[in-house]
């Protein structure tokens, strides 16, 4: 996943998933991207990618709190589950690389489990 690929994926997923009301690109350079996919003002997916450091952060945020996250640090992935958002899940499932679409599929499951829109 690169910044260029992720930006294209953001556009596609925003169009495909009708529950997103806005896509806000907060910062973008040749090697960095930070964006929000808004469900509402207090519920959104934060997307961050830094190609220089091989870092990706995909996070579901509600009321300023991280509910669910997948992180890639220097090419190594881990997950923060909604049941234990402060803990690193380094199980085989927690460490698998994910695409933006796969992460958003997981987000939909978390939203349903937590009865959020």
pTM above 0.85? yes
Domain ranges, ordered by start, for the chain: 3-113
Residue 104 has a pLDDT of 98
Residue 117 has a pLDDT of 84
| Helix or strand run (H / E) with residue 102 | helix 100-113
- Give 26's contacts (C-beta < 8 A, 6+ positions apart): 34, 35, 36
pLDDT digits (tens, 9 = 90+) for 60-117: 999 999 999 999 998 899 999 999 888 999 999 999 999 999 999 999 999 999 999 8
> Residues 5, 11, 14, CA angle at the centre, nearest 5°?
135
């Amino acid at each position: 996943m690169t910044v260029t690929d992720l930006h294209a994926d953001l556009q596609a997923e925003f169009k495909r998933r009708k529950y997103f009301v806005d896509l806000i690109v907060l910062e973008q350079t040749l090697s960095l991207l930070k964006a929000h996919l808004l469900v509402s003002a207090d519920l959104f997916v934060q997307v961050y990618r830094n190609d220089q450091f091989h870092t990706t952060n995909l996070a579901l945020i509600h009321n300023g709190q991280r509910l669910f996250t997948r992180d890639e640090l220097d090419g190594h992935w881990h997950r923060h589950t909604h049941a234990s958002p402060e803990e690193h899940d380094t199980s085989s499932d927690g460490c698998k690389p994910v695409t933006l679409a796969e992460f958003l599929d997981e987000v939909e499951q978390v939203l349903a489990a937590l009865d959020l829109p």
